[in-house]
Amino acid sequence: MNRRRILTAAAAGAMLGSALLAASSANAAAGHRETVHHTKAVHTYAKLKQLNQSGVSGRAAVTARGTSLSVSYRATGLLAGAPHAVHIHYGAQARHECPNLYDDTNGDLRLTTLEGVPAYGPVAVSLTTKGDTSPASALAVDRFPAAPHGRVHYHRHVQTDKATAKGVRAGDAVLVIHGVDHNHNGAYDFGAGKSDLDPKLPAEATNPAACGVLHR
């Protein structure tokens, strides 16, 4: 190989090396930006509005950092002394909103939890007071707030999966409070039928009482 070809090859090698170094640096920077994006705190808020004419209202705030969620909510107008299951609902195929009467598929003028799923999605996080917070604890009635005096003030740090955390950061997750005293007799009973989640429970114990979309 003559001197000109050697110099040309050397120059080409140097240019290729510089390009690879630049690409590597760009990829590293992109990866760093992605890491920073996912670990940066994203704050979301919701105004909780009544469902099923429950009279329940309140506010919620959820801060997502990676797959960690810091959850706070206040609610009033709840059935006093009764457990109220509270969840963060999220599903990629959901409408990311609170349900309305058009979701009342059986026409009984009451929304059940499953009737609301197309709007807010399945249970993603169970906001229990202690222990497990996965969907497996969706009906862990002994570990949900019992609403003394009809009020709940809740705060807890929980872990979730990447898909749910992404949904929270996008403003697509929904916080739902369950438990409605439909006949106003001061207790959950079977006057409104059986729960569509567990026939051993009354519908009053699991029907949604309040809902709010966690907007950024």
**Confidence band for 55, pLDDT divided at 50, 70 and 90:** very high
Number of domains in the chain: 2
**What is the extent of the structural domain holding 22?**
1-39
Looking at residue 202, the DSSP 8-state letter turns out to be B
Return the structure tokens found at 200: 């051993």
Regarding whether 102 and 7 lie in a shared domain, the answer is no
Which tens digits make up the pLDDT trace of 132-174? 999 999 999 999 999 999 999 999 999 999 999 999 999 999 9
Regarding whether 34 and 45 lie in a shared domain, the answer is no
Mean pLDDT of the chain: 86
CA–CA distance, 113 with 98 (Å, rounded to integer): 11
Which tens digits make up the pLDDT trace of 18-53? 333 333 344 334 444 444 455 799 999 999 999 999
Regarding whether 83 and 56 lie in a shared domain, the answer is yes
Which tens digits make up the pLDDT trace of 202-211? 999 999 999 9
E-only strand ranges, the chain: 42-50, 57-65, 68-76, 86-89, 123-126, 152-159, 174-178, 208-213
pTM value is: 0.82
165: alpha, beta or left? (left if phi > 0; alpha if psi -120 to 50): alpha
Regarding whether 25 and 55 lie in a shared domain, the answer is no
Q: Which residues pair with 72 in a beta bridge?
A: 61, 155
Regarding whether 145 and 114 lie in a shared domain, the answer is yes
Regarding whether 102 and 56 lie in a shared domain, the answer is yes
